[in-house]
A = this chain, B = another copy of it.
């Protein structure tokens, strides 16, 4: 009995409507608001859900502090098909209200990436890397270098 996948990632947000609008613009996927008080973004692979931060903390434990400080230690990533796509996606996120925290640039590992934060300060890396390939369904793969 093992965990075979990460089904979804939940982001605790300050303003559910604004966060939903932001992610609809950045991800180009119509958000699912069938269920009151939560937004599901049904991406291929793993979903993202948006949920008021205070409710998320309370759901885990009434003792959990609602706010955090400093670097959360987690980054979400989208792997792009090219360096040009990295630049275009970060530009689009910026137009939707994201803050660009690292302009797209060559990386020490041979790739090309930039970072933005969403409305609640969560980090997204948009990256292209020479070792990455994509399955037919869009999932990440390492290039077959054999």
Contact = CB atoms under 8 A, between A and B. Distances in A.
B92 A10 contact: no
Nearest to A127: B7
Contact of A72 (B44, B72, B101): B72
Contacts of A79: 7-8
Given A69-B69, A142-B32, A43 B2 contact: no
A60 interface: yes
Contacts of A140: 7-8, 42, 46-47
Given A60-B123, A73-B56, A115-B60, A6 B65 contact: no
A31 interface: no
Nearest to A51: B75
Interface in A37-90: 40, 42-48, 53, 56-57, 59-61, 64-79, 85, 88-89
